[in-house]
Amino acid sequence: MATVLCAPQSFSVNASSEQATAPASNALTPFPGVVWRSNGLSTVYVTLATSGAPIDLIALAGSNLRSTDTVRVRGSSAAAMTSPVFDVTVSAWSGTAPNRGATTLIQLASAVTPAFVRIDITSTGNPVGYVEVQRLVVGKKVVCDGVDIGCEHGLEDQSQSEDILGSTVFDEFRVRDSWKATISNVKETDYWTIWVPFLRGIGKTRDFLFVPETDPAFLQNQAIMGRITSNAKGSYRSSDLLLVDLNILQV
Is the overall model pTM greater than 0.85, yes or no?
yes
Phi, psi values for residue 191, rounded to 5°:
-60, -50
What does each C-alpha distance from 32 to 35, 48, 61, 71, 195 come to in angstroms?
Answer: 7, 20, 10, 21, 27
The model's pLDDT over 82-103, given as tens digits with 9 standing for 90+, comes to: 999 999 999 999 999 999 999 9
Which domains occur in the chain, in start order?
Answer: 8-141 (2.60.120.260), 144-250 (no CATH)
Answer yes or no: is pLDDT of 1 > 80. Answer: no
HEC states along 43-97?
A: CEEEEEEECCCCEEEEEEEEECCCCCCEEEEEEECCCCCCCCCEEEEEECCCCCC
The model's pLDDT over 150-187, given as tens digits with 9 standing for 90+, comes to: 999 999 988 888 888 888 888 888 899 999 999 999 99
CB 101 within 8 A of CB 131: no
